[in-house]
Structure 1
Amino acid sequence: MTRRPPNEYSDAAENNAPFIQRFWIYQRERFPLAAHAVMIAAFSFSAVSYSRISRGVAGFIAWPDFLVGAFTTFTLFLLVRIFDEFKDAKDDAMHRKELPVPRGLISLDELKSVGVVVFVAQVAINLLFFPKMLLTYGVVIIYLCLMGKEFFVADWLKKRPFWYVTSHMVIIPLIDIYASGLDWLLAGVDAPDGMLFFFAVSFMNGIVLEIGRKIRNPSDEKIGVDTYSHMLGPKRATKLWMAVLAVTWVLSVAASYYAGYGTLAFAILTVIFMTSCIPAILFLTGMNSKRAKAMELTAAGWTVAMYLSLGGIPMLEQLFSR
């Protein structure tokens, strides 16, 4: 498939640049490597850390193992992004012509090649370092492929936003199982009971991110672009986002209990929750584009804070106190 012909959003200099330059522009817009690296590193480190703390095992896993696992989780999320480009190609061509693929910056064939290279690298590196992880990895890939096909019920899902977002967010705890498995699975033991709550937090964090990035100020809504603020109205969508935050907060408290954290952890999680609600409250009292964007940024900050609070920071405290 060749690149799409230029449209009103195209930049001839960018479209005619070498692939590396064009892919750099693509990632900046659709999958910022630096920002995602921070979030996914926190995700992976915290999943492993929470598992070890819940099992009562001191210290961290071997760093080479972690780096291989972190590479896999990071590139799995990149594959999710690439699969989404194929899944959304028709809608993007009609309603989001400013995006890289519709404006001819990069083609789906080129993204497919990137995906194939990433997949081969993932299989090779896991086969080399820990073949035991390939089964868990394979489950993630199979689910990702089903997502790419909208589980063969695309029309049904499109009419049912709840089931759409629910089915797509399952990929996050599946990747979490892989990440945490770098501890318990490679150690040959069962996952600690608290991991169920940690996986639930991961699932809900995905919904926090999904809803948070799809709440718009009414003047920023675009025809043909599905947002929660369009489907539910901005006030109902914002209240839904706050409700999802509250559920995630409750699950995070349960996860902290199973890890043996004390009242300080409960207090910290509560402060994070209350602080994260502020942008939503401000948006409800006076809607504008900046406040809508603040909710999206808060969703990302909330996600990082949850992971660091539940696993990353307690592990760092343990490592530096030794």
Structure 2
Amino acid sequence: MKRFNSNYSDREYLKDRFKWVRFFIERFDPISHVLMISLFIAGHIVLVKNDLSGNFVLIFLGTTIFFFKLRCFDEVKDLDLDMKINPTRPLPRGLLSVFDMKDAIILCLIFENAIFYSIGLNAGVAMSIASVYSLIMYKEFFLGDWFRDKLTSYATAHTLVTILLSLSVFSALVNKPLYLLDKELYFFSIISWLLFNIFELGRKTFLQSEERDQVESYSKVWGKGGAVILVLVHACIAEVILALGVGLTSFFAKVYFTSSFAIFTLIGVFFLFKKTGKSGALFRGYSSFYIILIYSGIIIEKLL
């Protein structure tokens, strides 16, 4: 007879909790997310000339929890489709349940706000606004399937949450309310939104041979050429704002950001003229890498 109040129950408990480790590895890759979030926060820090104080750890934790919550949102919202086309993902295969995700979402909401309020009232209020928007976003802005079917509008409305998250980080760093930040910081937050749009738009742009039934993509909505132009326009606007709005106009900034955009354009043109091969993977890869490239350039430029 198994004794559930003994070491057996302890082993079963640890085994059950290990499912979250597997979820993290599969759906919230620690290496890529730690890198991206670290660069995201460091870009904010160098812009306000703030040293790496103890608040960095708190901001990093709160921001990571916020991004993880967004991942949980998507797991719940995409479950019906994943059951059909991605049955090996954690929820469809039964590793975790929808209720597990919702428990995680509640805990994330509590901890992301508790952490930012521990930094200061201004930071906490800013994070609360971002949290409320994320919940409205999770509920599809109360527009249901009608809005979800508008793929591009739906995506860009969701990535708007990055502006509020960015402003929350600035509020935590400078201890000011959202409405009293310097104008350069608002421009920088818009850039964050554009960069996450590029990431989102680029990763769902495919060659005709790569398209999958029932899987939405921007290349289906706009055509391959339209999707590439949409991504490059976002990149162009982001770089113009970096120069004119944020004031990154040094020789290094001009060369670095212009080169980054030029490479992006060449990859986009290459992708447009190819019908097979690795051009799609290259375009999607650079679209994902571009966010790291730009934040890295901002950090380097400010530290020179």
- Structure 2 length normalisation: TM-score? 0.87
SS in 2 for 1:105: coil
Looking at structure 2, the residues matched to 314 and 177 of structure 1 have their Cα atoms a distance apart, in angstroms, of 21
Aligned counterpart for 2:41 among listed residues 44, 49, 69? 44
- The alignment status of 1:70 with 2:60, answered yes or no, reads yes
- For residues 66 and 166 of structure 1, the distance between their equivalents in structure 2, rounded to whole angstroms, comes to 28
Give the drift of 1:84: 1.4
- State the match for 1:4 in structure 2: none
Displacement of 1:160 = 2.3
Change in Cα spacing, 1:188 to 1:145, as seen in structure 2 (3 Å) is closer
| 1:3 equivalent in structure 2 | none
Match of 2:27 among 27, 30, 35: 30
- 1:217-276 CA distance string (max 9 Å, x none): 22222221111112222232223222222222222222342x5x4233122110111122
Per the alignment, residue 259 of structure 2 pairs with: 271
Matched AA of 1:216: F
2:78 is matched with: 88
Question: Would the aligned equivalents of 1:228 and 1:237 in 2 still touch at CA under 8 Å?
Answer: yes
The residue that corresponds to 1:231 in the other structure is 221
Give 1:220's aligned amino acid. E
1:132/1:187 Cα in 2 relative to 1: closer, same or farther (>3 Å)? Answer: closer
**Deviation per residue, 1:175-222 (Å, 9 max, x gap):** 100111222335999311112221221111111011111012222222
Q: Are residue 169 (structure 1) and residue 159 (structure 2) matched?
A: yes
Instruction: Give yes or no for the alignment of 1:305 onto 2:293.
Output: yes
For 1:244 and 1:129, locate their aligned partners in 2 and report how far apart those are by CA, in whole Å: 33
Measure, in 2, the Cα distance between the counterparts of 1:38 and 1:251. Answer: 24
Question: What letter is aligned with 2:25?
Answer: R
Count of matched residue positions in the alignment of Structure 1 and Structure 2: 291
Whole-Å separation in 2 of the counterparts to 1:178 and 1:163: 24
Contact 1:61 1:183 in 2 (8 A): no
Say whether 1:194 aligns with 2:184. yes
Residue deviations 1:76-96 (CA, integer Å, cap 9, x gap): 111111111122222222333
Partner of 1:183: 173
Cα deviation digits, residues 56-93 of structure 1 (max 9, x gap): xxxx2452111101111111111111111122222222
1:220–1:289 contact (8 Å) kept in structure 2: no
1:87-108 Cα offsets, whole Å, 9 max, x none, are: 2222222333232211222212
Q: In 1, Cα distance between the equivalents of 2:122 and 2:106?
A: 22
Structure 2 counterpart of 1:277, one-letter code: T
Report the Cα distance in structure 2 between the residues aligned to 1:291 and 1:104, rounded to whole angstroms.
35
Alignment TM-score, normalising by the size of structure 1:
0.82
* Counterpart residue type for residue 300 of structure 1: S
> Matched residues in 2 for 1:199 and 1:127: separation?
21
Report the Cα offset of residue 145 of structure 1: 0.4
Q: 1:315 offset after TM fit, Å?
A: 4.1
Counterparts of 2:271 and 2:135, CA distance in 1: 37
Segments of structure 2 that go 5 or more residues without pairing to the other structure are 1-13
Question: For residues 176 and 306 of structure 1, what CA distance do their matches in structure 2 show?
Answer: 15
Q: Does the alignment pair 1:151 with 2:141?
A: yes
Question: What's the % identity of the aligned pairs?
Answer: 22
Contact residue 209 and residue 275 of structure 2 kept, 8 A: no
Supply the distance in 1 between the matched residues of 2:303 and 2:218 (Cα, whole angstroms): 37
Unpaired segments ≥5 residues, structure 1: 1-16, 53-59, 318-322
For the Cα contact (< 8 Å) 1:51–1:192, is it kept in 2? no
CA displacement at 1:112 relative to structure 2: 2.3
- In structure 2, the CA distance between the partners of 1:103 and 1:244, relative to structure 1 (3 Å rule), is same
Q: Distance in 1 between matches of 2:126 and 2:147?
A: 26
Q: What letter corresponds to residue 113 of structure 1 in structure 2?
A: D
Distance 1:193 1:38 in 2: 27
User: 1:213 aligned to 2:203?
Assistant: yes
Residues 173 and 199, structure 1, Cα contact 8 Å, conserved in 2: yes
Partner residue of 1:7? none
Report the Cα distance in structure 1 between the residues aligned to 2:112 and 2:148, rounded to whole angstroms. 31
For 2:21 and 2:279, the matched residues in 1 are separated by 29
Structure 2: which amino acid aligns with 1:301? F
Pick the aligned partner of 1:262 from 247, 250, 254.
250
2:54 aligns to what SS in structure 1? helix
RMSD: 2.3
Q: Aligned partners of 1:291, 1:21: CA distance in 2, in Å?
A: 38
Please say if residues 184 and 190 of structure 1, whose CA atoms lie closer than 8 Å, have aligned partners that are also in contact.
no
Alpha carbons 1:82, 1:115 under 8 Å: kept: yes
